Structure 1
Amino acid sequence: MTMPTNLRPNLSRGASAIALGLTLTAFLPGAAMAQDASTAPVDAAPAEDAIVVTGIRGAINNSVQAKKNNTSIVEVISAEDIGKLPDLSIAESLSRLPGLATQRLDGRANVVSIRGLAPDFTTTLLNGREQVSAGNNRGVELDQYPSELLNGAVVYKTPDASLIGQALGGTIDMRTVRPLAYGRRAIAAGARFEINDLGELNPDISNKGYRANISYIDQNADGTLGWAIGYARMQSPTAEERFNAWGYPELTDGTNTAFLIGGAKPYVKSNELKRDGVMAVVEWEPSDKFHTTIDAYWSRFKDDQRLRGIELPLAWGNSTLTDFTIEDGLVTSGTWSGTEAVMRNDVVHRTSTIIAGGWNSQFKPNDRLTLELDLGYSRLKKTEENLEIYLGTGRGAGVGARETALGFQLRPKGGIILDPSLDYADPNLFLITDPQGWNSCGGAVPNCQDGFVNTPKIKDELKSLRLQATQELDGVLSSIRVGANYSDREKSLDDRGFVLTSNDYPANTAVPADYLYDPVSLDFIGIPGMVAFDSWRYYNDGNYVLTDEAGWTPGRIFNDYNVREKVLTGFVQANFDADTGSTPIRGNVGIQIVHTDQSASSFFAQVVGGQVQSTPVTDGATYTDFLPSMNLTVEFADNTFLRFGAARMLARARMDQLKPGGGVNFDASRRNNTDIEASPWSLDLGNAKLRPLMADTVDVSLEKYFGQGAYVSLGGFYKYLENYIYRQSDAFDFTGFEIPDGGTVATYQGLANQWRNGNGGRVYGAEAALSLPFATFTQALDGFGVLASGSFTKSRVREGSADPIAMPGLSRWVVNGTAYFEKAGFQARISGRYRSKFLAEVSGLSLKRDLVTAKSEMVVDAQVGYTFQSGALEGLGILLQASNLTNEPFVTYYNNDPRQIRDYQNYGRNFMAGVTYKF
Structure 2
Amino acid sequence: MLLFKPSLLTLALVAAGASMHGYAAEETKTTASADENIEVISVTGIRRSLQESQSLKMSSSSIVEAISAEDIGKLPDVSIAESLARLPGVSAQRLDGRANVISIRGLGPDFTTATLNGREQASVNDNRGVEFDQYPSELLNRVVVYKTPDASVMAQAIGGTVDMQTISPLTHGQQAIAVSLRGEMNDLGSLNSGSSDKGYRGSISYIDQFADDTIGIALGYARMMSPNQEERWQAWGYPNLDYVDTNPKVLGGAKPFVRSSELERDGVLAVFEYAPNDAFRSVVDVYYTKFSDDQRLRGIEIPAQWGTNGGVTATTTTDGLVTAGTIKGAEVVVRNDVNKRDADSLSIGWNNKYHINDNWSVTADLALSKADRTDIGMESYTGTGRGTGIGAVDNLGFASNGDGGYIFTPNLNYADPNLIKLGDPLGWGSPLGANTQDGFINKPQVEDELTSLRLSAEYLFDEGAVKSVEFGVNRTDRDKTKLDKGYYLTLKGYDGSANYLESVPSQYLLSPTSLAFFGMGDVLSYDSLAFYNDGNYTETDVANVDLSRATNSWAVYEEVTTAYVKANLESEMFGLPVTGNVGLQAVMTDQNSDGTVATVENGKVIITPRNAGDSYTEWLPSMNLGFEVADKQVVRLAAARTLTRARMDKMNSNVNFSYNANPNDGVNWTGGAGNPELRPWLARQYDISYENYFSDQGYFSVAVFYKDLENFVFDQQALFNFGAIFPNQPGNPIGTVTQPLNGQGGYVQGVEASLSLDFGQFADVLSGFGTILSGSYNDSEVKETPDSDPTALPGLSEKTFNATVYYENEGFEARISSRYRSDFLGEVTKISLQRENVNIKAETVVDAQIGYDFSKSGIDALYGLSVQFQVNNLTNEPFISYTGDDQRFVRDYQNYGRNFMLGANYKF
Give the TM-score normalised by the residue count of structure 1. Answer: 0.93
Secondary structure (helix, strand or coil) at the match of 2:622 reads: strand
Alpha-carbon distance, 1:682 to partner: 2.2
1:368 aligned partner: 359
Aligned residues between the structures: 879
Show the 5 A alignment for 1:295-306. Answer: 295-306=285-296
2:152 aligned partner: 162
Checking the alignment, whether the CA contact within 8 Å between 1:179 and 1:226 is kept in structure 2 is yes
1:640 aligned partner: 633
1:428 aligned partner: 418
Show the 5 A alignment for 1:414-425. Answer: 414-425=404-415
Change (3 A) 1:91 1:573: same
Matched, 1:761 2:722: no
Checking the alignment, whether the CA contact within 8 Å between 1:632 and 1:644 is kept in structure 2 is yes
Secondary structure (helix, strand or coil) at the match of 1:140 reads: coil
Matched, 1:479 2:464: no
Change (3 A) 1:173 1:46: farther
Distance 1:750 1:351 in 2: 41
1:887 aligned partner: 876
Show the 5 A alignment for 1:858-877. Answer: 858-869=844-855, 870=858, 871-877=860-866
Checking the alignment, whether the CA contact within 8 Å between 2:473 and 2:563 is kept in structure 1 is yes
| Cα deviation 1:208-249 (Å, max 9, x = unaligned) | 000000000000152111000000000000111001111222
2:252 to 242, 262, 282: 262
2:764 to 771, 776, 779: 779
Checking the alignment, whether the CA contact within 8 Å between 1:811 and 1:838 is kept in structure 2 is yes
Alpha-carbon distance, 1:733 to partner: 5.0
Change (3 A) 1:495 1:450: same
Distance 1:416 1:30 in 2: 53
Q: In structure 1, what residue type is equivalent to 2:605?
A: V
| Cα deviation 1:613-662 (Å, max 9, x = unaligned) | 11111110000000000000000101010001000001111111111213
Checking the alignment, whether the CA contact within 8 Å between 1:674 and 1:747 is kept in structure 2 is no
2:492 aligned partner: 503
Matched, 1:190 2:176: no
Checking the alignment, whether the CA contact within 8 Å between 1:34 and 1:154 is kept in structure 2 is no
Secondary structure (helix, strand or coil) at the match of 2:649 reads: helix
Distance 2:86 2:200 in 1: 24
Checking the alignment, whether the CA contact within 8 Å between 1:43 and 1:182 is kept in structure 2 is no
2:224 aligned partner: 234
Report which stretch shifted further, 854-863 or 321-330. 321-330
Checking the alignment, whether the CA contact within 8 Å between 1:43 and 1:178 is kept in structure 2 is no
2:11 aligned partner: none
Distance 1:482 1:736 in 2: 43
Change (3 A) 1:222 1:345: same
| Cα deviation 1:672-704 (Å, max 9, x = unaligned) | 54225xx57421111111111110000010000
Secondary structure (helix, strand or coil) at the match of 1:780 reads: helix
Matched, 1:49 2:49: no
2:194 aligned partner: 204
Distance 2:881 2:189 in 1: 24
| Cα deviation 1:268-309 (Å, max 9, x = unaligned) | 000100000000000011111101100000000100000000
1:113 to 103, 114, 126: 103
Alpha-carbon distance, 1:86 to partner: 3.6
1:448 aligned partner: 436
Q: In structure 1, what residue type is equivalent to 2:408?
A: L
Matched, 1:854 2:840: yes
1:64 aligned partner: 54
Secondary structure (helix, strand or coil) at the match of 1:366 reads: coil
RMSD: 2.1
Change (3 A) 1:497 1:821: same
Distance 2:202 2:303 in 1: 45
Name the structure, 1 or 2, with higher relative contact order (CA <8 Å, separation 6+).
1
Secondary structure (helix, strand or coil) at the match of 1:286 reads: coil
Matched, 1:630 2:623: yes
Show the 5 A alignment for 1:280-291. Answer: 280-291=270-281
Secondary structure (helix, strand or coil) at the match of 1:519 reads: strand
Alpha-carbon distance, 1:806 to partner: 2.2
1:833 to 806, 819, 826: 819
Percent identical pairs in the alignment equals: 50
2:646 aligned partner: 653
Question: Structure 2: which 5+ residue stretches go unaligned?
Answer: 1-15
Show the 5 A alignment for 1:528-677. Answer: 528-580=521-573, 583-665=576-658, 672-675=662-665
Q: In structure 1, what residue type is equivalent to 2:568?
A: N
Distance 1:386 1:87 in 2: 31
Matched, 1:907 2:896: yes
Change (3 A) 1:467 1:749: closer
Distance 1:627 1:319 in 2: 62
Distance 2:382 2:316 in 1: 31
Distance 2:222 2:513 in 1: 34
Question: Structure 1: which 5+ residue stretches go unaligned?
Answer: 1-28, 739-743
Report which stretch shifted further, 445-454 or 558-567. 445-454
1:3 aligned partner: none
Matched, 1:339 2:339: no
Show the 5 A alignment for 1:132-171. Answer: 132-171=122-161
Alpha-carbon distance, 1:580 to partner: 4.7
Alpha-carbon distance, 1:74 to partner: 0.3
Q: In structure 2, what residue type is equivalent to 1:489?
A: R
Alpha-carbon distance, 1:138 to partner: 1.2
Distance 1:223 1:384 in 2: 46
Checking the alignment, whether the CA contact within 8 Å between 2:109 and 2:129 is kept in structure 1 is yes
Checking the alignment, whether the CA contact within 8 Å between 2:377 and 2:833 is kept in structure 1 is no
Checking the alignment, whether the CA contact within 8 Å between 2:337 and 2:528 is kept in structure 1 is yes
Matched, 1:97 2:87: yes
Change (3 A) 1:48 1:365: closer
Change (3 A) 1:30 1:392: farther
| Cα deviation 1:114-166 (Å, max 9, x = unaligned) | 01111011100000100011110111100000000000111000000001101
2:4 aligned partner: none
Show the 5 A alignment for 1:686-705. Answer: 686-705=674-693
Q: In structure 1, what residue type is equivalent to 2:535?
A: G
Distance 2:753 2:487 in 1: 51
Give the TM-score normalised by the residue count of structure 2. Answer: 0.94
Distance 2:354 2:481 in 1: 38
| Cα deviation 1:364-419 (Å, max 9, x = unaligned) | 1101211000001100110011111110111112211111x211122322211111
Alpha-carbon distance, 1:449 to partner: 1.0
Checking the alignment, whether the CA contact within 8 Å between 2:258 and 2:515 is kept in structure 1 is yes
Q: In structure 2, what residue type is equivalent to 1:881?
A: Q
Checking the alignment, whether the CA contact within 8 Å between 1:495 and 1:846 is kept in structure 2 is no
Q: In structure 1, what residue type is equivalent to 2:409?
A: D
Change (3 A) 1:581 1:543: closer
Checking the alignment, whether the CA contact within 8 Å between 2:18 and 2:171 is kept in structure 1 is no
Q: In structure 1, what residue type is equivalent to 2:45?
A: G
1:222 aligned partner: 212
Distance 2:851 2:38 in 1: 28
Report which stretch shifted further, 408-417 or 856-865. 408-417
Q: In structure 2, what residue type is equivalent to 1:632?
A: L
Checking the alignment, whether the CA contact within 8 Å between 1:136 and 1:655 is kept in structure 2 is yes
Alpha-carbon distance, 1:189 to partner: 0.3
Secondary structure (helix, strand or coil) at the match of 1:205 reads: coil
Alpha-carbon distance, 1:735 to partner: 5.9
Alpha-carbon distance, 1:325 to partner: 2.9
| Cα deviation 1:178-212 (Å, max 9, x = unaligned) | 00111111000000000000000001210100000
